[in-house]
Structure 1
Amino acid sequence: MADRITAEDEVVRLCQELIRIDTSNPGDHSGPGERVAAEYVAEQLAEVGLEARLFESHPGRTSLVARIEGEDRSRDALLLHGHLDVVPARAADWAHDPFGGEIADGCVWGRGAVDMKDMDAMILAVVRQRLREGRRPPRDVVLAFLADEEAGGYWGAQWLVAEHPELFEGCTEAVGEVGGFSLTVPGDRRLYLIETAEKGIAWMNLTASGTAGHGSMVHPDNAVTALAEAVARLGRHEFPIRLTKTVRAFLERACEAYGVEFDPDDPERCLTELGPLARMIGATLRNTLNPTRLDAGYKTNVIPQEATAQVDGRFLPGYGEEFLATVDELLGPDVTRDFVHHDDAIEYDYEGALVDAMEQSLAAEDPGALPVPYCLSGGTDAKAFARLGMRCYGFAPLRLPADLDFSGMFHGVDERVPVDGLRFGARVLDRFLDLA
């Protein structure tokens, strides 16, 4: 009889092989697309008897969906989703080939190692083991491996939700990326951050118009000047602290774990204990706005008629209107805005059977686990699935070394994921599917 192959046995190999498939997404269809990766996932599922459907929203931009029938088909279904695309990487900047999937220093290195081919590999490994063993989940589980998340999901999750909502029939809850990772705290314990909220996205074009003219003349009606002044006002503005229920819950529990008193009048005090993670958590205390691009003119001695800029705005759940009103006030009358990408903030209660399943599966593998809710400063494909009425959470479980700058791995140079963390995640995810 052949030896039993477990998710732990396969998850590292699957992560390596996914990383070696270049799915770089520069945001303009000039990349390789996700087709090869989607076909690879389909082959891995077909080997264990699960048929998947591929959907190509644009040449090469491919997503995959499959459904596993549960023991009780009368129950609402659960969606497990991950994206196949990654942000580009320049090999010269890396210690190891960003598309090599090498193992070094106890980690799998490569673009997508934490964002998010690690979770893709965990899902694949666990599903393959369960199907080989004939273990059905308690309810239907829909798997979605998606295109284009790194550019807003227009050709992936958003396209599927708009064009093929029937694929997600019965799904009332969804689990995806950027949650379930650990942060070591005193007493050999670990906070596991479960994402229950995401800031909204407001990527905006700014446009200033003026009168074209010769660069040697006195010219008060200068579009570049008007735009530059507006961009400076936006970039220097500090929004007030707004404690949402999720952020407050995280800070209270984090302060308790660190032995620091939580002060609602000075919530930033706790951030000093969080190390590199403080940047991501700090960004969830307030709305943020960062200028990212400027463009004007074509010749030094020609005053252009128009100048443009782009800014990356993020707003907390419940504070979208306040955010945009502030932006308009800061822009003034001479600059207009329109959206490059606009998506809602989402927030869900940290309660219910699904959250209980996350907590129990973590505690079973790590007795020092302290699960906590948190708000993600960025955004994920969860925003698209929220439009179908799903409650969306981030839970890609990883037990991490205390000294790993995990948040710095996202879109960073030398992205890597610990081998032991991948195996831990596979064990936790398998338990979670039994309980969810």
Structure 2
Amino acid sequence: MNSAAQTTAEDEVADLLSDLIAINTSNPTHPERPAAEWVAEKLAEVGIESQILEAAPGRASTIARISGEDSSRAPLLIHGHLDVVPAEASEWSVDPFAGEIRDGYVWGRGAVDMKDMDAMTLAVVREWARTGRRPPRDIVLAFVSDEEAGGTQGAHWLVDNHPGLFADCSEAISEVGGFSVTMNNDLRLYLIQTAEKGLGWLRLRAQGRPGHGSMIHDDNTVTKLAAAVSRIGAHEFPITVTDTLRRFLEDVAKLTGLPIDPDDPQAALPHLGGMARMIGATLRNTANPTMLSAGYKANVIPSTAEATIDTRFLPGFEDELMAKIDELAGPGIEREFIHRDIAVETSFDGAVVDAMAAALRAEDPAAQAVPYLMSGGTDAKSFSTLGIRCFGFAPLRLPPDLDFSALFHGIDERVPVDGLQFGVRVLDRFLSNS
């Protein structure tokens, strides 16, 4: 191993990721404090000061600011979450919290969501600190808690209680963007996230008269709720071509020559290969029933029945989605939010986008950056409320046969070591020119 003074970002990124995966931060059972302290230690080793802030006991985030050459410029925010979703070890071929490195991959929960970006960011800023390099402008680092539960004890809490740490930032980069999709030997698309759906986790409730299960009963809450849930689950919302989706389809058609009509995105899906599932989820609003709860005994008709619905809405279409939910649910069904968060969208232009595309092309001549809309959500929802333009840019060059989207919250989550090394080279170039 090289000495600490000689160690490069490429040398240590896989080991950093392995060590971070080995800190179990499964939300909500394993708070992020140990990982936040580990990040602070890794920054302190190279002379970068940081602070740890807790929204609740153990729900900790590590924040640092690196001074740039031009303090008059608005800073860039790099944010990443430290928590992960749980993993059932019996379903995996490796220990999900061992951070094992084998067969050219780093394995474990968080390898792609999103401790890989945390490790790449740490690797780059540590190398810069060791060698005395400074970014062109200030960089704010935020390694935050609670993203997997909506960020109420993470990014949302930080924005509400410590907005001054981030308010002067003009752009931000984070997860679920900058990864490659191989079209052919001469073309790899790198999807930059410029938009994401909003979310509304809903509780539907039916109430009525309880009664004996042997009697004829015309006010059965289970029946009313089941009918409402069935209508919602079976409904197909209309296709909507957002600005981001249109730009994506236009760019893909131009770059590939495929017969893609931006006004008919459904017909374009068969041409998109491994991207089809990811893009298909962004063509329309969605509402998926996920949980049901009613009753306490087989022969008692309950007075209350409840269901949980996971709704995701396109930018600008929340009101339309909720109106349709109320219509489909019908009379006698109450609706309330368990958790709600906004949709986010920014344009695919400007100096920061140019810097992303240039950094990708410098490391991969076949690279073409294209924008996309993500069906899930990130902490961009919180930071965008401060007026920050948020992008998903965690660059990875991936093997053509890797089903990357299936690894998010999936079994045997893993990331290629050479993909991580590619990522730190791209981030180094991007940060040097942003």
Q: Do both share a fold (TM > 0.5)?
A: yes
SS across alignment from 2:111: coil
Corresponding residue number in structure 2 for 1:344: 342
Which of 240, 246, 249 is the matching residue for 1:242?
240
Partner of 2:12: 10
Provide the alpha-carbon RMSD of the alignment.
Answer: 1.2
Aligned to 1:422: 420
Shift, 1:274, TM fit:
2.8
Match of 2:172 in 1: 174
1:69 to 35, 52, 67: 67
Aligned partner (choices 142, 145, 148) of residue 146 of structure 2: 148
C-alpha distance in structure 1 between counterparts of 2:126 and 2:262, whole Å: 47
8 Å CA contact 1:33–1:61 kept in 2: the answer is: yes
Given the superposition, is the C-alpha separation of residues 265 and 355 from structure 1 closer, same or farther in structure 2, using an over 3 Å criterion? Answer: closer
1:252-309 CA-partner distances (Å, limit 9, x unpaired): 2223344321224431222123334311210111001100000001001010000000
Give the Cα–Cα distance (whole angstroms) in 2 for the partners of residues 128 and 397 of structure 1: 18
Letter paired with 2:268? C
1:306 — aligned with what? 304
Preserved CA contact (<8 Å) 2:87 2:109? yes
Shift of 1:167: 1.2
One-letter code of the match for 1:297?
G
Q: Alignment partner for residue 99 of structure 2, among 91, 101, 105? A: 101
**Cα deviations across residues 344-363 of structure 1 (Å, max 9, x unaligned)?**
11110100011011011101
**Secondary structure, aligned partner of 1:171:** coil
* C-alpha displacement of 1:249: 1.1
Residue in structure 1 matched with residue 215 of structure 2 by the alignment: 217
Say if 2:207 and 2:303, in contact at 8 Å, map to a contact too. yes
**CA displacement, residues 108-166 of structure 1 (integer Å, 9 cap, x when unaligned):** 11000000000000000000000111111111110000000000001100010011111
Aligned to 1:262: 260
> Which secondary structure does the structure 2 equivalent of 1:81 belong to?
strand
Q: Which residue of 23, 26, 29 corresponds with 2:25? A: 23
The within-5 A match list for 1:84-163 is 84-163=82-161
Counterpart check, 1:330 vs 2:332? no
Helix, strand or coil at the partner of 2:297: coil
Contact 2:96–2:109, Cα closer than 8 Å, also in 1: yes
Please give the alpha-carbon distance, in whole angstroms, between the structure 2 residues aligned to 1:159 and 1:391. Answer: 19
1:318 positional shift: 1.4
Distance (whole Å) between structure 2 residues aligned to residue 273 and residue 258 of structure 1: 10
Alignment partner, residue 354 of structure 1: 352
1:227 aligns with 2:225: yes
Residues in 2 aligned to 1:249 and 1:133: alpha-carbon distance in whole angstroms: 40
Give 1:197-212 correspondences, 5 Å limit: 197-212=195-210
SS of residue in 1 equivalent to 2:423: helix
Q: Give the Cα–Cα distance (whole angstroms) in 2 for the partners of residues 262 and 196 of structure 1.
A: 21
Q: Structure 1 pair 273/247, CA: closer, same or farther in 2 (3 Å)? A: same
Counterpart-to-counterpart distance in 2, 1:431 and 1:350: 19
TM-score by length of 1: 0.97
Cα shift at 1:341: 1.0
Deviation at 1:187, TM superposition (A): 4.0
Cα distance change, pair 276–368 in 1 and its aligned pair in 2 (3 A): closer
**1:122 partner SS:** helix
Q: Distance in 1 between matches of 2:152 and 2:263?
A: 40
The CA distance in 2 between the partners of 1:56 and 1:345, in whole Å, is 26
Letter in 2 for 1:61: R
Structure 2 unaligned blocks of 5 or more: none
Structure 1: gaps of 5 or more residues: none
C-alpha distance in structure 2 between counterparts of 1:187 and 1:12, whole Å: 27
Kept in 2, the 8 Å contact 1:186–1:258? The answer is no
Equivalent residue pairs, number: 432
Task: Tell me if the contact between 2:250 and 2:262 (Cα under 8 Å) persists in the aligned partners.
Answer: no
Q: Does 1:39 align with 2:41?
A: no
Q: Deviations over 1:363-404 (max 9, x none)?
A: 110000010000010000000001111110000000000000
Are the counterparts in 1 of residues 363 and 425 from structure 2 also a CA contact under 8 Å? yes
Identify the range of structure 1 (179-188 vs 220-229) with the bigger mean alpha-carbon deviation: 179-188
Aligned equivalents of 1:426, 1:383: Cα separation in 2: 25
Aligned-residue identity in percent: 64
Following TM superposition, by how much is the alpha carbon of 1:321 offset from its aligned partner in structure 2, in angstroms? 1.3
Take 1:219 and 1:7, find their aligned partners in 2: how far apart are those partners? 69
In 1, distance between residues paired with 2:144 and 2:46? 21
